[in-house]
Amino acid sequence: MTFIPSYLPPHSLRLLLTWICLVALVTCTREQNASALAPRTLAENTTLFEDEIKRTQEETAKQPENRAICPKCQGRSLCLVSPSSKASCFCPPDRTGEFCELEIVKLPTACTKDQCENGGVCDQGPITTICYCSENYVGANCSRVAVWIKLSMNLYENGKLVDWSKQNKSKPLLAYAACNQVTASILRGPNPTIATAFMDCDLQEYHKILVGNREGVRVTTMLKFDPGDNARALQESEVRRHIESSTYNIDFDSGETISVTNYDVCEAHKHDCSPAASCIWDGITYSCECNRFYSDGYVTGKLLPGRDCYHSFMTGFLLGCLIILPIIITTFTGVDPHVGGFGWPPAGLLPVSQIRRLGVALIIFLSFIHSAPIKSPILLFLSQERGFEKPFFCLTLLYFIAYF
């Protein structure tokens, strides 16, 4: 609640209320990009994946010549066998070395301010630190934009369509069954780049499907991938071919039940671009670009372009003048309460004591606006927009200096 001194004279009070109303005209709820891609913790995401990695390595290591190699593959790497039957480790984007034992991005042992990029949160692990990334980011330090694949399929178990009427329609159980099949299939597919890029599976929805004369369960999952430096490898056609060619058969009826598409986060409004930026979709992933008259506050190694767009200093200065100057002019000239419905035209100079009282009320109001936790364009201008904040408060300061 804004404090308004009760001792203000009527015309000064009306002036202050007019100012408040002008501010209210530009106040509205700022658009929030709420996402259906629910963020989950690293521990929840990796258990199923690591179990499948372990099974895959154990299967490959059954051959005597591979037993000395496969158990040494570290991280989320895969043990591969070449045509010459010699095993090797294929590393995920953040690792390198013969056994993928070297981390490309070495995180510090204690959390630092800027080690996690793009809104990632640092947490202290048992040995080193861990970055928990925002939902659209991947990488050890959250430096890369994730690629999302939307996959729909009929759910099978032991080669038979899961019966809708007999199925316990618990979403967690269905999510486990669906993602268990998808994860196993992806990790056993022929393209190691796709297999090691896979990060997470999340069940979005399920419904009844009629196959012949049987009622089955159809699920839609969202698959998250780390593109590394090769996002083109994650085109929907390549991912579909990889899954259908996997040695782990999910009982896909090719061309009929499987649907694999690159998920357009721009169209779905699931991106994290600034409200003053445009989301650009290239068919696989997205980027952000600040709109005209806005400056980009991206910082290399901390924030990607288009996530922090703000007015240039000159634009902010002009907007500050547009808001502050009418208040200054009106206060200098005074307001005649007997002329016009809104006190116009101006007439006479207000007494200094009344101006000071009005100034106290105004500065209290500005302080409230500057610190209020409400997300709206007025805060975007008065406290969040760096290009606007300085000229606005400089003009306000000059306003008070002129009277005291």
pLDDT band at 128, cuts 50/70/90?
Answer: confident
Q: Is residue 360 assigned to a domain?
A: yes
pLDDT band at 295, cuts 50/70/90?
Answer: confident
Q: Which residue has the higher pLDDT, 2 or 314?
A: 314
pLDDT of residue 30: 33
Q: Are 196 and 92 in contact (CB under 8 A)?
A: yes
Token pair listed for 16: 């202050």
Q: Is residue 131 assigned to a domain?
A: no
Phi–psi pair at 220, nearest 5 degrees: -120, 120
Q: Is residue 379 assigned to a domain?
A: yes
DSSP state of 160: E
Token pair listed for 382: 């008065």
Across the chain, mean pLDDT equals 72
Cα dihedral 177, 182, 183, 189 in deg (nearest 10):
150
pLDDT band at 277, cuts 50/70/90?
Answer: very high
pLDDT of residue 25: 37
pLDDT in tens, 299-322: 887 889 999 888 766 666 666 666
Q: What is the mean pLDDT of residues 187-208?
A: 91
Q: Which residue has the higher pLDDT, 141 or 341?
A: 141
Determine which helix (DSSP H) or strand (DSSP E) holds 60, and give its type and residue range.
helix 42-60
pLDDT score of 208 more than 80: yes
Q: What is the mean pLDDT of residues 345-367?
A: 55
Phi–psi pair at 56, nearest 5 degrees: -60, -45
The domain total for the chain is 1
Task: Tell me the DSSP string of 288-343.
Answer: EEEPTTEEE--BTTTB-TTSSEEE-HHHHHHHHHHHHHHHHHHHHH---TTSSTTS
Q: Is residue 229 assigned to a domain?
A: no
Could you list the beta-strand ranges (E) of 116-159: 121-124, 129-132, 137-138, 144-145, 147-154, 156-157
Domain extent, residue 369, equals: 10-30+311-401
pLDDT score of 331 more than 70: no
Q: Which segment of 47-61, 125-139, 300-314, 327-341 scores lowest on mean pLDDT?
A: 327-341
pLDDT band at 3, cuts 50/70/90?
Answer: very low
Q: Is residue 364 assigned to a domain?
A: yes
Q: Which residue has the higher pLDDT, 368 or 51?
A: 51
Token pair listed for 86: 């010699």
pLDDT score of 285 more than 90: yes
Task: Tell me the DSSP string of 239-285.
Answer: HHHHHHT-SS-----TTTT-EEEE--TTTTT-----TTEEEEE-SS-
Q: Is residue 38 assigned to a domain?
A: no
Q: Which residue has the higher pLDDT, 158 or 67?
A: 158
Token pair listed for 318: 């002009």
pLDDT of residue 231: 92
Q: Is residue 246 assigned to a domain?
A: no
pLDDT score of 225 more than 90: yes
pLDDT score of 349 more than 70: no
pLDDT band at 142, cuts 50/70/90?
Answer: very high
Q: Is residue 373 assigned to a domain?
A: yes
Q: What is the mean pLDDT of residues 104-109?
A: 89
Q: Are 297 and 275 in contact (CB under 8 A)?
A: no
pLDDT of residue 227: 94
